[in-house]
Amino acid sequence: MIKILNRYVFNQLAFTTFFITVVLTTALWLTQSLRFVDIVICRGFSMTIFFKMIIFLIPDLISIVLPISTLIAILFTYNRLLTDSELIVMRASGMSNFALSLPAFSFSVVIVTFLYAINLYFLPISFQKFKDMEYEIRNNFTTYLVQPGEFTTLKGITIYVRERRRTGELRGILLHDARNQEAPFTLVAEQGLITENPDGLGITLFNGNRQQLDSKTGKPNILLFDNYTLDLSVIPEEKIERKRKPYERFLGDLLNPDVGIETPTMIKKLYAEAHQRLIIPLTVFCFTGIALAFFLQGDHNRRGRTKKIILATVFCGLLEILLIGLINLSERFNFTIFLAYGMLVLCFLGSLYMIVEKIKRVDKKT
């Protein structure tokens, strides 16, 4: 009987957590995706690039949302069990507070395991792919050479493009080449396309004209063309090797940095990032304990339940803020990391004591 009840509560927690996580993650995901609309609309990249970039954000969003979703699910599920008198029936069947809390703690073990899988593997991989793609886009010459509606000057070439389509086709092109100061010229074309080859960049223009002043007579020479290719290989594509950020590195790299390469400040940041990945998943145990400690003790009237939900939420919020603060301070003071771990242990043991200890409160109003 008890196994059936435990499975029932566990399933309720799993369904509620999944639903809340999907809703919150989707909301944050859509908000973050607005940052990359410019990539598709203005820079002419495909929707595939857009979706890849926002998909790489999902592990980070889940790692943020999941502890919160678990807390909300526990508060919601146990509050509903109280409202429907199911918790009273479970107690009448002989289940103690500890037995009532087992489904939640079992579920929290699953969540913590899942969070560690994200934080230690999927998170650094997704950030690496995201930052690599972002770096490539920002350093791709063609992305900033042809900004629609803007004049761009680089290495003696000024170019204006009225429109750039998603296929990469350019419309309404004005290009002034002054790399040779003695013989500058201007190209005007209806259409064009920037191409990349082993020797460098080039631009192919269609249906336009080439205008150049005669140095002797001062009169313009105009040449009409159907197809004209201009070599842009003089413009270098500078590609500097990118250094990985702390959040892009795996746990082994964070805890064992190369002291010959990394600065002391960066080493402290790497340590802080490593401990943050280890500490944040453990907050799920504390959130679970705090929520159950408030719900399984004392009076169970409606006003009391509302107060318990608010207090549990406030306590968990304060715990999260303090932990993040201590982790950030560890970049300056190493001992604050030990305070963070100590706070986790004290909160968890304290909540366990409150759950197991049978405190009977008399509600004078009833």
What are the tens digits of pLDDT across the range 254-283? 999 988 888 899 999 999 999 999 999 999
Q: In what order do the strands lie in the sheet with 169-177?
A: 151-154, 157-164, 169-177, 185-197, 200-213, 220-231
Tokens 């037995």, located at residue: 99
Of 8-12, 121-125, 157-161, the poorest mean pLDDT is in: 157-161
Stretch 8-35: mean pLDDT, rounded?
A: 92
Stretch 274-295: mean pLDDT, rounded?
A: 94
pLDDT at 342 over 90: yes
pLDDT tens-digit readout, 59-96: 999 999 999 999 999 999 998 888 888 787 887 777 88
29 vs 358: CA distance, rounded Å: 44
Q: What is the reported pTM?
A: 0.76
Distance of CA 213 to the CA centre of its chain: 54
State how far the alpha carbon of 96 is from the alpha carbons of 76, 261, 304, 337, in Å. 20, 56, 20, 36
pLDDT tens-digit readout, 129-138: 998 887 777 6
pLDDT at 365 over 70: no
- Per-residue pLDDT, 280: 95
Stretch 98-125: mean pLDDT, rounded?
A: 95
pLDDT at 212 over 80: yes
pLDDT at 359 over 60: no
Q: Give which of 83, 85, 64 is closest to 277, Cα–Cα.
A: 64
- Per-residue pLDDT, 136: 73
- Look up residue 220 and give its DSSP letter: E
Stretch 102-124: mean pLDDT, rounded?
A: 96
Tokens of 29: 């995901």
274 vs 127: CA distance, rounded Å: 15
Tokens 């409160």, located at residue: 361
Q: 47: which residues sit within 8 A by CB, 6+ positions away?
A: 40
| Mean predicted lDDT score pLDDT of the chain | 85
User: With left for phi above 0 and alpha for psi between -120 and 50, is residue 44 left, alpha or beta?
Assistant: left
pLDDT at 313 over 60: yes
Stretch 208-233: mean pLDDT, rounded?
A: 85
- Per-residue pLDDT, 179: 83
Of residues 362 and 159, the one with the higher pLDDT is 159
pLDDT at 45 over 70: no
First to last CA, the chain: 32
